[in-house]
Every structure is written in structure tokens, then in C-alpha cells.
């Protein structure tokens, strides 16, 4: 599973660079009509998903290590 976690983290880094390069910085306030705001919102959702996935996988590995 460590290989898959590494792949997820590498994808997260690539996606962060992609968002910053193509959409710029995050706006101070979220605006529904702003493309950059929505891109950063999707990035935040992806980060949360990856963190939850990693945490869940680590939780499943612990009982198996005994």
C-alpha cells in the first residue's frame, strides 16, 4: 500500500502545481463566478479525499501487523 500512497501524494503535488500555474493564487474571498476559486475548491476536496484515504489505509494496516 505504501506504493499507492506515494502515487497519491505525487499526484497531489502535481495537481497543486497545475492549479497554481493555470489558475493563479487563491482569492481572499470565495466568489461563485471566479474560476480560480472553484479550481482551489476542487483542490481542497481532492486533498481531503487523499488524506482520508491515507488515514483509512493506515488504520486497516495496523491490525494486520500484529
Task: Give the torsion through C-alpha atoms of 39, 45, 46, 47, to 10 deg.
Answer: 110
pLDDT at 62 over 80: no
Q: What percent of the chain has pLDDT over 90?
A: 55
Q: What is the C-alpha radius of gyration for the chain, rounded to an integer number of angstroms? A: 15
Domain range enclosing 31: 10-61
4 inside domain = no
User: Residue range 11-34: average pLDDT?
Assistant: 91
What pLDDT does 27 receive? 87
User: Residue range 11-15: average pLDDT?
Assistant: 94
41 inside domain = yes
19 inside domain = yes
What pLDDT does 61 receive? 76
pLDDT at 64 over 70: no
Structural domains of the chain, count: 1
3 inside domain = no
- The cell numbers describing 24, all together, are 493563479
- The cell numbers describing 16, all together, are 497543486
Amino acid at each position: 500500500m505504501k506504493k499507492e500512497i506515494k502515487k497519491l501524494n505525487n499526484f497531489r503535488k502535481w495537481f497543486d502545481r497545475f492549479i497554481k500555474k493555470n489558475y493563479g493564487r487563491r482569492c481572499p474571498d470565495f466568489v461563485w463566478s471566479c474560476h480560480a476559486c472553484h479550481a482551489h475548491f476542487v483542490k481542497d476536496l481532492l486533498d481531503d479525499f487523499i488524506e482520508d484515504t491515507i488515514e483509512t489505509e493506515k488504520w486497516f494496516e495496523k491490525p494486520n501487523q500484529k
